Structure 1
Amino acid sequence: MLVELAIGDAYGAGFEYADAALVTRHNTLAGYVRHPRHPGIRPGSYTDDTQLTLALAELRVSGAAWTPESVASAFVDAFHRDPREGYARGFQAFLETVHTGAEFLARIRPDSDKSGAAMRASPAGLLPTVADVLHHTDVQAKVTHDTPDGVAAARAAALAVHYCHHGLGPVAEVGTWIADRLGSGVWARPWQGKVGSKGVMSVRAALTALSRGGSLSSILRACVAFTGDVDTVATVALAAASRSAEIAADLPAVLVDGLENGPYGRDHLARVDAQLR
């Protein structure tokens, strides 16, 4: 799961809020694309979506208590050991100035309804029960996105992984299943058009791409074709799709081999992923 979602993140990063014409020309999965407005991000590099997901995955694997402070500490540690571009400017500046989880919690304003809590929610989806998934998701989401929509989007993203991982039904019905669990029909309504920064938007688009089924490649292309905040859409969708027996695991070798593989890259993601299972 972690490798696949990182590929989605890194591939989508080349198209995030890019012109629709560029997406149409280059969304072929023939390789990673350098973003025209972010030349400093090397093609194949993942962004904050994966780094913060990895932080939560490592926290789960460690067996440490799942608390707001341990979650915040995981975010701080992951950023400072491996600083990178891709974060929202304000949040990156914030991370650069905090050094402990306690300091993070004391200074953060957790009032966002954007996609940050949803993009990193997938590790909780592997837990055995819906109650476990929702508890762990709520704790991590409220650290930064303690708003109704911020939490709901994270819950939906985690539940998509849970649904696919445990084979609870056909992928075509994932949105309806989530809508029943969360008491909101929004998750069953297909997304159309450009994806904005709100978490509900990204997760609805991800669920739409996922529900069409097929293969990881077709889902990835569908995520990017929406345009807008497509790296987050692809991160959320591929996290869930990679856990479904219905979805063919056919990501091109050029994307697998081209994913960054430094100290916290592809091989590290695979090791942590193996421990999550």
Structure 2
Amino acid sequence: MLLALAIGDAYGAGFEFAPREKIDQHNKLTGYQQHGLGIKAGCYTDDTQMSLAISELLISKAPWTKTNIANHFVACYKRDRRLGYSSGFQALLDSVNDGQELLEQINPNSSRNGAAMRAAPLGVLADIETLLHYAKLQAQVTHDTPEAIESAQAIALAAHYMLYQRGDKAGLSAFVSQHGGGFWDDNWHGEVPCSAWETVNAVLTLLKNADSLSALLLMGVDFGGDVDTVTALALAIASESGQYQADLPAFLAKNLEAGPFGHDYLAALSRQLMALKA
């Protein structure tokens, strides 16, 4: 899951809020593209880094508290500072020393998609009530609004549905709507903003309509907008389901960033995360 998430993040990052001309010219699954912020081709962003924080806390089996969650957010960032975060949140992460300081200084009144983008690893939780609680608590650390909480729960539920083979992908949106707050629309069209609800709708649309992992990437980027979050989540959720053709070009794994928290670390951590599945 985590390796797939990072691949989707790194591929989508090259097209995040890019001009339509760049998408039309380069969204061919022939190579990674550099992000407009200067993020190198093949490198992942905050979507993956914060998902690592969630995964590492799950694997540690430490108590699921706001302080522990915030500590992992800060620690993951401090050990491997990278671009991709909103400027305000990145400045806050730079200024604090631990999770307690983050909780004391943050204004968590955002309805953007930051809580959803890191929620896919929670799909390994077998008990839905626990999953919903964990998704809500991690959302409240940074995005304590109904929209953000419900979107995080929706992504966790979608990952759970696929991981535990609860049904065909055609029934995914109904399952998410049944067990989580809100009604989700899997007929998204057009550019995807950083909004929580719209991001989930775009992800569910991809998961319903695509039949392969490569199609998820191509269709997700073609939306335009915040496509790295959309492609990261869609690929992470689909990668463990068996319902999508595993046809990703070899370069996506080969050219994904290396380093201490790159390809090999992601693959190893993903195996540990999947071992938590009941």
| Bucket of the pairwise TM-score, normalised by the shorter protein | over 0.9
2: distance between equivalents of 1:81 and 1:236?
24
Q: Please give the root-mean-square deviation of Cα atoms over the aligned residues, in Å.
A: 1.0
Cα shift at 1:213? 3.4
* Residue identity opposite 2:209 in structure 1: R
Alignment correspondent of 2:27: 27
* CA deviations over 1:22-74 (Å, ceiling 9, x no partner): 11111111010113x32x21100000000000011011111111100000000
Question: What stretches of structure 1 move > 6 A for 4+ residues in a row?
Answer: none
Alignment correspondent of 2:8: 8
Structure 1-normalised TM-score?
0.97
* CA deviations over 1:176-234 (Å, ceiling 9, x no partner): 2111222532x134111000110111111011001113111111111111000000101
Alignment correspondent of 1:81: 79
Question: CA contact under 8 A between 2:5 and 2:236: conserved in structure 1?
Answer: yes
Q: Are 2:214 and 1:205 aligned?
A: no
Q: Are 2:99 and 1:67 aligned?
A: no
Calculate percent identity across the aligned residue pairs: 47
Alignment correspondent of 1:160: 158
Matches within 5 A, 1:122-161: 122-161=120-159
* Residue identity opposite 1:11 in structure 2: Y
Structure 1 spans left out of the alignment, 5+ residues: none
Alignment correspondent of 1:97: 95
Structure 2 spans left out of the alignment, 5+ residues: none
Question: CA contact under 8 A between 1:16 and 1:230: conserved in structure 2?
Answer: yes
* Residue identity opposite 1:179 in structure 2: S
Question: CA contact under 8 A between 2:186 and 2:202: conserved in structure 1?
Answer: no
2: distance between equivalents of 1:163 and 1:237?
13
1: distance between equivalents of 2:185 and 2:17?
25
Alignment correspondent of 1:263: 260
Alignment correspondent of 1:58: 56
Alignment correspondent of 2:221: 224
Structure 2-normalised TM-score?
0.96
2: distance between equivalents of 1:183 and 1:269?
31
Pairs aligned (count) = 274
* Residue identity opposite 1:7 in structure 2: I
* CA deviations over 1:96-140 (Å, ceiling 9, x no partner): 001111111111111000010000001111111211211110110
2: distance between equivalents of 1:210 and 1:143?
28
* Residue identity opposite 1:246 in structure 2: Q
